[in-house]
Structure 1
Amino acid sequence: MLFDYQLDFRTTDFRQHPELYRVGKGEQGVLLVEPYKGEILPFWRFRTPAVARESSEKIYALFEAYLQHHDFVGADMARKFLQMGFTRARRYANHKGGKKYDGPVPDDKKGQSGSHGRAELPRSPEDPDKAESAAIFKARWDEAKQHPEYLRQRVAFEERYGK
């Protein structure tokens, strides 16, 4: 199910219109889909392992609550925030300051992944705190994406709304 970036994300309530949601790949839409972004983002932190542990536990609790309420879109968004906790913490573990590419992102490429012709910066010595934070989020992300009820609801969602 390809993520549809053409939707009006400022006015669309995906809890009211789950049929408009697409899982997409990876973290697509994680910072766009409301009201879930607003519910989950305040808890998303990875600065230290202790902060990452608390954050990942809170987000995983939201993930389970969404599943319990048969809200697949919310559960998938929580899964994406766990994944993003891993990927961003890994980026900061590998690149001091989290900057992976040299130079600014061209305006027409903002919000898209990849370097867009910019040179990748060399890796810094690994930051052990950020690496541990990444591992904490990775464990929760793995748990979420393999959760039997998540998998069941994902199949049901895709059957109902198409791939």
Structure 2
Amino acid sequence: MSDDGPEYDVDFRDHPERYEIGRGEQGVFKVEPYKSELLPLWSYADEDAARESAAAIYERYERYRDDDEFPGMDMARKYLQMGYTRAMRYAKYPGGRKYDDGDEREPQRWADPDKRAAALVFEKYWDRVREDEVYQRAKARHREQTD
């Protein structure tokens, strides 16, 4: 899925067949209506914010799962993954800056322990989604239907 194509004008709740899983966190800021539903819940400022955020996103995931809404399920998974990866970047790199003048900086262990704690909260919820058999079956079914 292109990051700037007209497919982002699609309401993926109405047209789930147009949703492409993509790699990693692709589409996380563009796929509607899920972006508008999940982004306000997403925070990784510290462990408490992450705990509240990850629980709220997971709760939304369960709602999407109950409604058999795979694009929403997958987008919730992406927000949990992104909570982990963004918080971990801040945990390893002061100020979250991985690059300095185009060169990758050496990661520190742990530049920001609060962000590491936040990352670990997101990781637990992210693992729950990835290991969920309902999610795995829905993902396989979606791939079969869209290939």
**Would the TM-score normalized by the shorter structure come out above 0.5?**
yes
Q: Is the 8 A contact 1:44 1:81 kept in 2?
A: yes
Indicate whether 1:78 and 2:62 are aligned.
no
Identity of aligned residues (%): 44
Structure 2 stretches of 5 or more lacking a match?
A: none
Deviation at 1:56, TM superposition (A): 0.3
Deviation at 1:7, TM superposition (A): 2.6
Deviation at 1:154, TM superposition (A): 0.9
Q: Is the 8 A contact 1:86 1:134 kept in 2?
A: yes
Q: Is the 8 A contact 1:9 1:32 kept in 2?
A: no
Partner SS for 1:26: coil
Q: Letter of the 1:133 partner, please give it.
A: A
CA distance in 2, matches of 1:17, 1:128: 42
Measured against aligned partners, the alpha-carbon deviations of 1:42-84 in whole angstroms (never above 9, x if no partner) come to 0100111011000000000011100100000000000000000
CA distance in 2, matches of 1:56, 1:6: 28
Aligned to 1:36: 34
Indicate whether 1:146 and 2:127 are aligned.
no
Aligned to 1:106: none
Aligned 1:3-152 pairs, distance under 5 A? 3-5=1-3, 7-8=5-6, 11-103=9-101, 118-126=102-110, 127-152=112-137
Q: Letter of the 1:134 partner, please give it.
A: A
CA distance in 1, matches of 2:135, 2:43: 23
Deviation at 1:4, TM superposition (A): 3.5
Structure 1 stretches of 5 or more lacking a match?
A: 104-117
Single out whichever of 145-154 and 5-14 deviates more from structure 2: 5-14
Deviation at 1:21, TM superposition (A): 1.1
Partner SS for 1:154: helix
Partner SS for 2:6: coil
Structure 1 stretches (4+) deviating beyond 4 angstroms?
Answer: none
Aligned to 1:110: none
Single out whichever of 121-130 and 81-90 deviates more from structure 2: 121-130
Single out whichever of 21-30 and 54-63 deviates more from structure 2: 21-30
Deviation at 1:102, TM superposition (A): 2.2
CA distance in 1, matches of 2:3, 2:113: 36
Structure 1 18/7 Cα, relative in aligned 2: closer, same or farther at 3 Å? farther
Q: Which has the higher helix share?
A: 2
Q: Is the 8 A contact 1:9 1:34 kept in 2?
A: no
Partner SS for 1:33: coil
